[in-house]
Structure 1
Amino acid sequence: MSQEHDAEQGKPTGIQVIARAGQILRALGRNPQGLSLAAIAQEVGLPRSTVQRIINALFEERLVEHVGPGGGVRLGPALGQLINQSQTDIISLTRPYLQELSTDLRESVCLSALVDEQVYVIDRIVAERELRVVFPIGITAPAHAAAGGKILLAEMPDSSVRELLPDPLPAPTERTLDLAGLLADLQQSRQSKVSTEMGEALDGVGSCSVALDTYLGLYSLSVVAPTARLEKEVEKVCSALLACKQEIERAIGHSLGKV
């Protein structure tokens, strides 16, 4: 046979390498600050020598890059370019859901992504009511203080969160959590699938968020409102967010038909 096959699994070697490269890229995606080769090998369950060979190939394609002198690796600029090109798709695919959610709740809604220790707004719908929260597309906030960032941090293990964020954490308001409080809050979010904050990022403004695991990447969907109003309606808002998450992931989830 002209094509080499894996003896144990019967897969063509080329296909297996692609699958392993995908595992490594997903692991790096969950750890945007970067990982050592040993940490990657442990996370994906592959020998370090195998990881090294795949990393070398990915480096040549600029899909990964080295992080400082310590030998760490993170996602590279080529992937960033692909992600930027995909933003138009995620906006067009999710906008009808954002619009419906905003209309139903009469609150501002936004779609966000995590970049290093910041969360930035990719798209937003501003509520049509007298007292509302207005913010521009492209605005950033500390991930540890905004619900849209916290729900994405909750997708990481605590060890990665500690590596990503400074300690002590910057405190935009008196309600901002310290690192210990944040880690406890993230654990609750992992169980409930929802993150909330009331004035942790900006005085008088609160937010509730869910994570969206789509085939275009991991994003957060948030409802942003005055804290005085959001505190009274937090259960209703969280329920609506979870229902919207289910609809979006059923349509464009990482696994089709995901519920």
Structure 2
Amino acid sequence: MPHEPADLDTVLGKAVTILRAFTVDDQVLSLAELVRRTGLPKATVHRVAGDLVTNRLLDRTNLGYRLSGGLFELGMRASVERSLLELAMPFLQDLYERTHETVHLGVREGHDVVYVAKIGGHRQAKTPSRPGGRMPVHCTAIGKILLAFSDPEVQQEVLSSPLERRTPHTIVAAGLLERQLNAALENGVAFEREESAVGLQCVAAPVLAEGGDRALAAISVTGPVGRFRPEAHVTLVRAAAQGLSSLASRRRSLSS
């Protein structure tokens, strides 16, 4: 789900628009490219970008501008994702050691999965995901399981919206996606079969909130077609997610 446009009549809105012009694949953007992407006047972009450099939210390089470490520091202070990641890391590392395939932790934001963590070794499959990146919920295993354990209103929003076709295998029929969500809710796992990227398969399980009817996050294991069989990893990924669910519930009980 795209961000709501910022208010370009305010300095803050202009600054946010410039920061959001960077995608997960960008290293450096020139002043001209920032002007093109934001639609702001060149003088405005130059002035606001300078203020962002002063406040360590952007760095200025010979080629243009890049996101600064100050943004990373602020991001790591985001309480929900930070505490979740701290709790999850031992489970993610153990799951990787048991599978030696790519392991993800993700949360839902709107109609997207936001990847909080990714662990992979030398033999990991090439995946389009990366920490801080997004993917539509309907074409990933982690997104489907998060959607299956979301409120019915959220599910209906996704099912009634156009479903982007990322590969020839992406499910774009709402009825078929709904059947998969029902199966995921019943079985406690969801699958992806070359729906976000050709050549990849995935299985995911939910990290459930207390009560077991809502997902705080989800854990997945991804591997290449041919070597990786998602069904063979159901028990492991489910155990990791359940372990994190139990630990998160205990921590909440102790802090309340």
- TM bucket by the smaller chain? 0.5 to 0.7
Corresponding residue to 2:104 among 97, 110, 113: 110
88 and 160 in structure 1: CA distance in 2 versus 1, 3 angstrom threshold: closer
| C-alpha RMSD over aligned residues | 2.6
156 and 250 in structure 1: CA distance in 2 versus 1, 3 angstrom threshold: closer
Query: Is contact 1:127-1:133 (8 Å) kept?
Result: no
Q: For 1:205, give the aligned amino acid.
A: L
The percent identity for this pair of structures is 24
For residues 47-99 of structure 1, what are the alpha-carbon distances to aligned partners after superposition, in whole Å with 9 as ceiling and x for unaligned?
A: xxxxxxxxxxxxxxxxxxxxxxxxxxxxxxxxxx9x93221111111101101
Corresponding residue to 2:247 among 226, 251, 254: 251
SS at match of 1:207: strand
Distance in 2 (alpha carbons) for counterparts of 1:100 and 1:85 = 24
Corresponding residue to 1:200 among 186, 189, 195: 195
SS at match of 1:110: strand
Query: Is contact 1:151-1:186 (8 Å) kept?
Result: yes
For residues 97-154 of structure 1, what are the alpha-carbon distances to aligned partners after superposition, in whole Å with 9 as ceiling and x for unaligned?
A: 101101110101010011111101001111332x523542112111000011100110
What are the ranges of 5 or more consecutive residues in structure 2 without an aligned counterpart? 1-74
Q: For 1:97, give the aligned amino acid.
A: F
SS at match of 1:202: coil
Scaled by the length of structure 1, the TM-score of the pair is 0.60
Corresponding residue to 1:151 among 115, 121, 145: 145
Query: Is contact 1:158-1:183 (8 Å) kept?
Result: no
Who is 1:210 aligned against? Answer: 205
What are the ranges of 5 or more consecutive residues in structure 1 without an aligned counterpart? 1-80
Scaled by the length of structure 2, the TM-score of the pair is 0.61
Distance in 1 (alpha carbons) for counterparts of 2:177 and 2:152 = 10
Query: Is contact 1:176-1:201 (8 Å) kept?
Result: yes
Q: For 2:186, give the aligned amino acid.
A: Q
Deviating above 4 A after TM superposition, structure 1's stretches of 4 or more consecutive aligned residues are: none
Distance in 2 (alpha carbons) for counterparts of 1:159 and 1:90 = 25
